C-alpha cells in the first residue's frame, strides 16, 4: 500500500520538504509565517535597522560601512540599492559561481554600475569541478560547494578587511518554511549555516582525503573560527527581517535599475527573473525534486499563492507543467555541456539520479522500477491532497 504525499492546503508545498511542518488545520509553517506579517511593526523594525547602521557607519571614511554578499541577482540589486539609499558605503563581494551564464555576468557588471566597490573571489575552478562531481555523487547536490562558499567567502573577507557588519538578504527559513526559532532569527550565525545553509550533513572537513583534496584547497570554503569572528566583532543581519521582503518586488526594483531577465520562463521554473547566474542550477533543482518531490516551480508558486498573486488551483496546473522536468538544459546550456565540465556522462548522471530518487514519491512499475516518459520525466504518485475516503484519486498522466 502506498501512502499519499500530503500537501499544505493553503499553498502547495508537500510535507516531504525538510523542516516543513503542516499543522492540524492543514496549513504549513511558511504560510503561518506570512499570516503574521501584517502584525509586524515594520516601521519599528526599520528604525531598528537605521540604529544598527548608524552604529556601524565608518565616520572617518577609512573603511567600508558594511559588506553585502552579492550574486548579481535581483535580491543583490535590492540589498545594494537599499544600502546606498540609506547612506551606507558597502563593499560588495561575490563568491564566483559554478558555471556562470552570460546573463549572470551582465547582471554582475550592472550591479557595479549602481556605484559600489566590488570584489569577486574565485575559488580554484579546477578543484571546484571536482567538488561539484564529488558532492553530486555523494550527497546528490551539485551546488553543495557553491552553497558553502557563498556563506564562507563574505565572512572571511569581513574578518580580513575589518568590516564587521554583513548585510545578507532574506532568511530562507522564513520564506520557505523552517523551525520557528530559525524563522524569527535576524542574524546569520555559524549554527544557522550548519543547520540550514544546505550542507546536507556533508561538512567541509569530510572532504579532505577525498579524491586528492587537501586542506590547502579548501581555504575559501572554511568558516572563520569563533575567536576570529569575535575579535573582529562580526555580525550578519538578514535584511528580510527589517524590511518586508518580496522577491518579485525586488525583481521589479532591480529591473528599473538595469537588471536583465531571461527572455522566457527558465527551465523547471515559473519565472524569468531569478537563478539566472549558474547553469548548474537546473541539476540542483532537479535533485530536490527527486529527493523531496518538489522543485523550483513549487517554491515560486507557493510564494505567489501566499501573496495572493495566483490561486492554489492555477498554481497546481502550472506547477505540474514545469516542476521537476528532466534537466535537459538550463538557461539554454545543454545538460551534456554542463556534465562534460565535471567529467560525467549522461548515463552516469542518470544512475546518480535514480540512486537519489525517493521511490515512495514516484510511480514505479510492478518490479519497482521508476516509470519515465520519453523525455525521462517521472510522475509523482499524487499532485494534491487525496481525500481520506479515497473518493477520487487524482489520476496521473505522463507529461
List residues near Zn ion by CB under 5 A. Answer: 8, 10-11, 28, 31
Shortest distance, position 29 Cβ to Zn ion, whole Å: 8
Q: Would you say 153 and 95 are in contact if contact means Cβ atoms under 8 Å apart?
A: yes
Query: Which of residues 8 and 67 has its CB atom nearest to Zn ion in the complex?
Result: 8
Query: Which of residues 8 and 136 has its CB atom nearest to Zn ion in the complex?
Result: 8
Q: How far is CA 1 from the centre of its chain?
A: 34
Give the closest residue to 30 by CA, choosing from 238, 154, 182, 162: 182
- Residue 89: count other Cβ atoms within 10 Å of its Cβ: 15
Alpha-helical (H) ranges within 86-234 are 102-112, 125-139, 144-161, 172-176, 180-184, 190-196, 226-232
Q: Which phi-psi region, left, alpha or beta, contains residue 359 (left: φ > 0; alpha: ψ -120 to 50)?
A: alpha
Shortest distance, position 286 Cβ to Zn ion, whole Å: 23
Query: Which of residues 26 and 233 has its CB atom nearest to Zn ion in the complex?
Result: 26
Shortest distance, position 174 Cβ to Zn ion, whole Å: 13
Shortest distance, position 317 Cβ to Zn ion, whole Å: 18
Residue nearest to Zn ion (CB): 8
Query: Which of residues 8 and 276 has its CB atom nearest to Zn ion in the complex?
Result: 8
Distance separating alpha carbons of residues 298 and 295, to the nearest angstrom: 6
HSE value, Cβ hemisphere, 13 Å, CA-based, for 295: 30
Shortest distance, position 9 Cβ to Zn ion, whole Å: 8
Query: Which of residues 31 and 199 has its CB atom nearest to Zn ion in the complex?
Result: 31
Query: Which of residues 154 and 178 has its CB atom nearest to Zn ion in the complex?
Result: 178
Shortest distance, position 86 Cβ to Zn ion, whole Å: 33
Q: Would you say 304 and 31 are in contact if contact means Cβ atoms under 8 Å apart?
A: no
Shortest distance, position 300 Cβ to Zn ion, whole Å: 13
Shortest distance, position 28 Cβ to Zn ion, whole Å: 3
Q: Which phi-psi region, left, alpha or beta, contains residue 379 (left: φ > 0; alpha: ψ -120 to 50)?
A: beta
Query: Which of residues 10 and 288 has its CB atom nearest to Zn ion in the complex?
Result: 10
Question: Grid coordinates representing 320?
Answer: 505540474
Query: Which of residues 35 and 343 has its CB atom nearest to Zn ion in the complex?
Result: 35
Q: Which phi-psi region, left, alpha or beta, contains residue 346 (left: φ > 0; alpha: ψ -120 to 50)?
A: alpha
Output the CA–CA distances (angstroms, integers) from residue 234 to 91, 162, 196, 237, in the order listed: 15, 9, 19, 10
Amino acid at each position: 500500500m502506498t501512502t499519499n504525499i500530503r500537501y499544505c492546503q493553503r499553498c502547495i508545498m508537500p510535507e516531504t520538504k525538510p523542516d516543513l511542518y503542516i499543522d492540524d488545520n492543514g496549513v504549513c509553517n511558511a504560510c503561518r509565517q506570512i499570516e503574521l506579517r501584517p502584525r509586524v511593526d515594520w516601521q519599528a523594525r526599520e528604525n531598528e535597522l537605521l540604529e544598527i547602521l548608524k552604529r556601524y557607519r565608518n565616520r572617518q571614511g577609512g573603511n567600508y560601512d558594511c559588506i553585502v554578499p552579492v550574486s548579481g541577482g535581483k535580491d543583490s540589486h535590492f540589498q545594494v540599492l537599499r544600502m546606498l539609499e540609506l547612506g551606507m558605503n558597502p563593499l560588495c563581494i561575490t563568491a564566483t559561481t559554478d558555471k556562470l551564464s552570460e546573463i549572470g555576468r551582465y547582471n554582475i557588471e550592472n550591479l557595479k554600475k549602481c556605484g559600489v566597490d566590488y570584489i569577486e573571489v574565485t575559488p580554484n575552478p579546477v578543484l571546484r569541478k571536482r567538488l561539484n562531481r564529488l558532492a553530486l555523487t555523494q550527497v546528490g547536490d551539485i551546488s553543495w560547494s557553491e552553497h558553502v562558499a557563498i556563506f564562507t567567502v563574505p565572512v572571511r573577507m569581513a574578518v580580513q578587511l575589518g568590516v564587521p557588519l554583513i548585510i545578507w538578504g532574506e532568511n530562507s527559513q522564513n520564506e520557505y518554511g523552517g523551525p520557528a526559532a530559525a524563522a524569527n532569527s535576524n542574524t546569520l550565525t555559524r549554527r544557522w549555516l550548519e543547520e540550514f545553509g544546505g550542507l546536507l550533513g556533508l561538512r567541509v572537513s569530510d572532504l579532505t582525503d577525498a579524491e586528492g583534496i587537501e586542506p590547502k584547497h579548501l581555504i575559501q570554503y572554511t568558516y572563520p573560527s569563533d575567536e576570529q569572528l569575535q575579535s573582529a566583532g562580526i555580525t550578519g543581519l538578514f535584511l528580510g527581517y527589517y524590511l518586508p521582503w518580496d522577491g518579485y518586488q525586488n525583481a521589479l526594483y532591480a529591473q528599473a535599475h538595469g537588471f536583465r531577465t531571461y527572455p522566457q520562463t527558465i527551465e523547471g521554473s515559473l519565472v524569468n527573473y531569478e537563478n539566472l547566474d549558474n547553469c548548474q542550477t537546473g541539476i540542483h533543482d532537479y535533485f530536490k525534486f527527486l529527493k523531496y518531490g518538489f522543485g523550483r516551480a513549487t517554491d515560486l508558486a507557493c510564494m505567489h499563492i501566499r501573496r495572493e498573486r495566483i490561486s492554489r488551483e492555477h498554481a497546481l496546473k502550472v506547477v505540474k507543467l514545469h516542476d521537476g522536468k528532466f534537466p535537459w538544459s538550463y538557461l539554454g546550456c545543454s545538460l551534456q555541456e554542463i556534465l562534460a565540465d565535471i567529467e560525467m556522462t549522461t548515463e552516469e548522471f542518470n544512475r546518480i539520479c535514480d540512486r537519489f530518487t525517493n521511490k515512495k514519491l514516484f510511480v514505479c512499475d510492478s518490479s519497482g522500477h521508476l516509470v519515465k516518459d520519453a523525455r525521462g520525466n517521472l510522475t509523482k504518485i499524487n499532485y494534491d491532497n487525496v481525500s481520506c475516503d479515497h473518493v477520487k484519486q487524482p489520476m496521473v498522466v505522463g507529461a
